[in-house]
Amino acid sequence: MFQPNLMEPGSLHPLEMGQNTSESDVPRIREDEFDSATKSGSENHEGGASGEDQDPRPKKKRYHRHTQHQIQEMEAFFKECPHPDDKQRKELSRELGLEPLQVKFWFQNKRTQMKTQHERHENTQLRAENEKLRADNMRYREALSNASCPNCGGPTAIGEMSFDEHHLRLENARLREEIDRISAIAAKYVGKPVVNYSNISPSLPPRPLELGVGAAFGGQPGIGVDMYGAGDLLRSISGPTEADKPIIIELAVAAMEELIGMAQMGEPLWLTTLDGTSTMLNEDEYIRSFPRGIGPKPTGFKCEASRETAVVIMNHVNLVEILMDVNQWSTVFSGIVSRAMTLEVLSTGVAGNYNGALQVMTAELQLPTPLVPTRESYFVRYCKQHADGTWAVVDVSLDNLRPSPSARCRRRPSGCLIQEMPNGYSKVTWVEHVEVDDRGVHNLYKQLVSSGHAFGAKRWVATLDRQCERLASAMATNIPTVDVGVITNQEGRKSMMKLAERMVISFCAGVSASTAHTWTTLSGTGADDVRVMTRKSVDDPGRPPGIVLSAATSFWLPVPPKRVFDFLRDENSRNEWDILSNGGVVQEMAHIANGRDTGNCVSLLRVNSANSSQSNMLILQESCTDTTGCFVIYAPVDIVAMNVVLNGGDPDYVALLPSGFAILPDGTTTHGSGIGETGPSGSLLTVAFQILVDSVPTAKLSLGSVATVNNLIACTVERIKASLSPESA
């Protein structure tokens, strides 16, 4: 049996995989170390008098000008994230040689400055529009005063109007309604003519994207390429031009109308499949119902359209906030969204909420496997509250504004309607409608992708439902104490769930075929298509420093996903596949339930080693399941660090290298392709490991390390296949 040497440099020692960063290593800044006179002017000056100077004579205050490099770096970061959290400010201060409070004050002043400039610009635009409306009003008054009867040619009597005048009044009312509607979206762009978008380069395919990184919800690290410091892609993307913005606004309004129609219509637009378990879009009826769109389907692209409805445990206001905040959206849907970024906010909304909010975004959508290419989109997101109280959020691609022959996916109007329900619940109707070139999908996943379940509305809604339950669990206060191991300390629960959330985000972002990754396929491995890649971890308190080797493989199992999930998450069967536990007994020490399904749980496991000379280790694990997929994700953690977390301490400085499993249905189920099916359907299992092979970031990767990780994943796969084969059932 393969037994890696856990104690040698570059080996797979569990505690080395999850090194602890002690609290003494965390920089601490006391507020009294700053002068109360510190301030920042419009030119980014900061300074103050020293509190140690006891000379009663008044002295001139000292001002410290930031260097040009510091200003440029903070300006660039501000464009991506105007509201950095504590961790991001600490990282910026460390990189730029500033104190965290200096960074905080600079961003406060910058936000104030931008708000003032924006308000001044809006006032100018509104004054100009007011003058235009006043001139139109005078023109209409003059037309009324000179109106004549079409029959006799005499002056029109009071209370009467000619046909032309009636037409003018109707047209004026229509124009005013259009102006009010557009003003609710973006006050600085009003009265623009409606554009036929099918005439905007319809034969040209969409534009390729280089996506940035969204910081995660709740102060977690960013998602995507910036996880390992490669954030230059962010700065290579430019927002829309001034000429594009009126077109974008009109397109967003038209997309909103289309989304509502697609969410509410039945047959013949949506047809029920023969087995009665799902619906499919009638493309001919769609073209007849919505002729004004983003142009015909590009040659070689396939249409994927789906609709799903569910009631979730979250109020409509919070749901809208999650969808309109790119950081929260990326975190809640981390299993689907590998990277996302807001390029420009055209409107923040009116009346103090997101009604009328409009923003241009990029996103990369993923399936948790290296065998399915990610889908990149450049789109506008528009949020609106309708007269019946229903909220709607719609996305539509802007690729035709910047065409490129290499893009492979574009989004027709897609999004959701959110209806308020009693007791803090919401009814969500989700529509997902894309056109995609899926020729790069591996044969193993073709059935799942072509069925529409890989990226369809059902997966979005199921993920949202599960995450709403998870959030409700994190906020729960009436925790029963009868069960052994249940964490009842409120602060400890929050810290542990925040740490588990970061672990899940890191795993999902590192296992897909993202354009930010460069996978290398190994041959002759003993497992199917093992792919590896290396990353350098430097100055990240959430990861151990050094060279990290990632390895992943995906394969088919002839058993339902539910059975695979239950086997992998059960601590009693862990020693059947977990080589790193080295034959030790695995015991659950603590857990936090995350939803109705008992499989949704955050656990802290102890591995009691059979070898008394080896210290016991802890494993943090999160298992989650819904009707479209399952995850079992874990990482070795330091005992001292976890004690801090369980007492409510900051989890951001606990080093993690997550490994785990993503379990998907194979798409061949005859009754809905669900996780809970007990029929003869199979499972698609992705196994992924992250191993610290050298604690020196500048070291070179050895072939021995690659061979060790390769053997680890190959042996794990063989053990899982042996344990889950039909003969072993």
Question: Reading across the β-sheet that carries 45-47, which strands appear in turn?
Answer: 39-40, 45-47, 63-65
Give the integer Cα–Cα distance in Å for 219 and 650.
11
Helix axes 163-185, 100-145, angle to 10 degrees: 180
Q: What type of residue is 596?
A: R
Nearest to 506 by CA among 609, 655, 649, 401: 655
Asked if residue 196 has pLDDT above 50, the reply is no
- pLDDT score, position 560: 92
Asked if residue 203 has pLDDT above 60, the reply is no
Nearest to 414 by CA among 537, 300, 281: 281
- pLDDT score, position 182: 56
The secondary structure of 9-22 as a DSSP string is TTS--HHHHT-B--
Asked if residue 13 has pLDDT above 60, the reply is no
Q: Tell me the average pLDDT of the chain.
A: 76
Residues paired with residue 617 on neighbouring β-strands, in sequence order: 607
The angle subtended at Cα 468 by Cα 508 and Cα 348, nearest 5°, is: 85
The encoded tokens of residue 481 equal 């104490």
- pLDDT score, position 310: 95
Give the integer Cα–Cα distance in Å for 503 and 543.
10
* Cα torsion through 610, 614, 615, 619, rounded to 10: -60
User: Who wins on pLDDT, 478 or 662?
Assistant: 662
> Long-range contacts: 443-448, Cβ < 8 Å, 24+?
444/371, 444/554, 444/555, 444/556, 444/684, 445/367, 445/369, 445/371, 445/372, 445/554, 445/667, 445/684, 447/666, 447/667, 447/668, 448/664, 448/665, 448/666, 448/667, 448/673, 448/684
Reported as a single tens digit per residue, the pLDDT across 290-347 is: 887 777 888 888 999 999 999 999 999 999 999 999 999 999 999 999 999 999 999 8
- pLDDT score, position 501: 93
The 3-state DSSP class for residue 149 equals: coil
Give the integer Cα–Cα distance in Å for 332 and 704.
38
* Strands 617-625 and 630-637, sheet pairing: antiparallel
Q: Are 412 and 293 in contact (CB under 8 A)?
A: yes
The 3-state DSSP class for residue 323 equals: helix
Dihedral sign for Cα 174, 179, 184, 189, please. positive
User: Who wins on pLDDT, 636 or 274?
Assistant: 636
Report residue 223's pLDDT band, with 50, 70 and 90 as the boundaries: very low
Give the integer Cα–Cα distance in Å for 166 and 473.
61
Q: Are 371 and 513 in contact (CB under 8 A)?
A: yes
Reported as a single tens digit per residue, the pLDDT across 462-517 is: 999 999 998 888 777 666 655 556 776 788 888 999 999 999 999 998 888 887 77
Give the integer Cα–Cα distance in Å for 541 and 104.
20
**Helices and strands of the chain, counted as H and E runs:** 16, 24
Which range of 164-173, 268-277, 460-469, 473-482 scores highest in mean pLDDT? It is 460-469
* Cα torsion through 674, 675, 676, 678, rounded to 10: 90
- pLDDT score, position 231: 35
The secondary structure of 515-553 as a DSSP string is TT---EE-SS-SSTT-EEEEEEE-S-TTS-SEEEEEEEE
Asked if residue 215 has pLDDT above 60, the reply is no
Residues paired with residue 531 on neighbouring β-strands, in sequence order: 521, 552
- pLDDT score, position 729: 53
Report residue 176's pLDDT band, with 50, 70 and 90 as the boundaries: low
Give the integer Cα–Cα distance in Å for 399 and 497.
38
The encoded tokens of residue 174 equal 């229509």
Asked if residue 87 has pLDDT above 90, the reply is no
Reported as a single tens digit per residue, the pLDDT across 30-84 is: 333 333 333 343 344 444 444 444 455 555 555 567 888 888 888 888 888 888 8
- pLDDT score, position 710: 85
Q: Are 395 and 379 in contact (CB under 8 A)?
A: yes
Reported as a single tens digit per residue, the pLDDT across 602-613 is: 999 988 876 655
User: Who wins on pLDDT, 587 or 228?
Assistant: 587
Q: Are 263 and 290 in contact (CB under 8 A)?
A: no
DSSP code at position 276: S
Asked if residue 395 has pLDDT above 90, the reply is yes
Report residue 154's pLDDT band, with 50, 70 and 90 as the boundaries: low
Q: What type of residue is 237?
A: I
Residues 6+ apart with CB under 8 A from 277: 671, 672
Measured between alpha carbons, how far apart are the two ends of the chain, in Å?
Answer: 23
Is this structure's pTM higher than 0.85?
Answer: no
Q: What type of residue is 588?
A: E
